[in-house]
Amino acid sequence: MTAVAFGLLCLLLVGPVPELLSRARWPMRAPRAAIALWQAIALAAVLSAFSAGLAIAANLLRPGPDGTPTTSITAEIDRLGWPLWLLSVGALAATLLVGARLVVTTIRVGVRTRARRSMHRRLVDLTATLDEPVVCDDHPLRARYVRRLAVDHPLAYCLPGRQRRVVVTDGAVERLSDDELRAVLAHERAHLRARHDLVIEAFIALQAAFPRFVRSKSALGAVELLAEALADDQAVARTSPTTLARALVAVSDSSAPVGALAAGGSTTVARINRLAVPNSSWTALLAYAAAATVLVVPTIAVAVPWLVELSRILGG
């Protein structure tokens, strides 16, 4: 029953729960807390999957009369019966497969993303027309890692990592006022400081690890939107909602290369609309409480039985 409970909880946390949360409107009023809730749900789903596997393994290796785990397959088949034994072995194998896919996918996504960023960073550094540490003391384009490209299309994005870059084009500089350009750069710097790319990478790996028929397709898009909303809040703190809204409209039809985070994009309208609605502290508090509950309950459910068993073994 423990394995079944954890298995059902895992299926809920990778399917229906993310689907419902992605359709909710309140996360845009508390983006930081909503991202924390998304992360808690993702981590709880992984913990639940492994907890189901551990419960099945414990059932297959139930201690014998002498207190040591049973290692005889024939004895376990006689005790459980063929149908239940095959079901338990299949469920344990599926759990191990999900865990292996999660590890492999996380490594693969990280390696590929960093390789693409490194290649694009080299191209940007070779073609950039702005390479001076300081252009003008009172000008927004003053950071060492800012690069300006001779491109007429208005575009602004960042490349996270140790050798970070913020890329703007001539089209963006010409179309935006200084305040609007300052808002765009503040948006990109917020991405770099908070390392939103790592949060997004984790959800890409999680989405690839679970089978398509059980996972939600909306989780990644919802987290990406919340990351943009968080960066928008930082830009608003340095400028104003109106300034940022004008800047977002100017770069709304821009897109970023793979592995980069752009100021514009398909979510621009939703992000501009939320600028008129203030963030809610109560909503954030409830979201943090929900995140703690979602994460703590499966953790305690996993830890307590094993701690009790460890105490029994050490006490014996």
Question: Distance between CA 45 and CA 98 in Å, rounded?
Answer: 11
> Of the candidates 227, 242, 167, which has an alpha carbon nearest to the alpha carbon of residue 193?
227
Average pLDDT of the chain, as a whole number: 82
Residue-level pLDDT at 272: 92
Instruction: For residue range 265-316, list pLDDT tens digits in order.
Output: 788 888 999 998 889 999 999 999 999 998 887 777 666 666 665 565 566 5
Share of the chain above pLDDT 90, in %: 31
Instruction: For residue range 40-73, list pLDDT tens digits in order.
Output: 998 888 888 877 777 777 667 665 555 555 556 6
Mean pLDDT of 216-222: 85
Mean pLDDT of 90-95: 78
SS3 sequence, 30-70?
A: CHHHHHHHHHHHHHHHHHHHHHHHHHHHHHHCCECCCCCEC
pLDDT at 133 over 50: no
pLDDT at 87 over 80: no
C-alpha separations of 136 from 23, 141, 236, 282 in Å: 45, 8, 23, 42
Residue-level pLDDT at 64: 57
How do the domains of the chain map onto residue ranges?
2-315
Residue-level pLDDT at 135: 40
Residue-level pLDDT at 191: 94
pTM for the model stands at 0.83
Residue-level pLDDT at 314: 61
Mean pLDDT of 166-191: 90
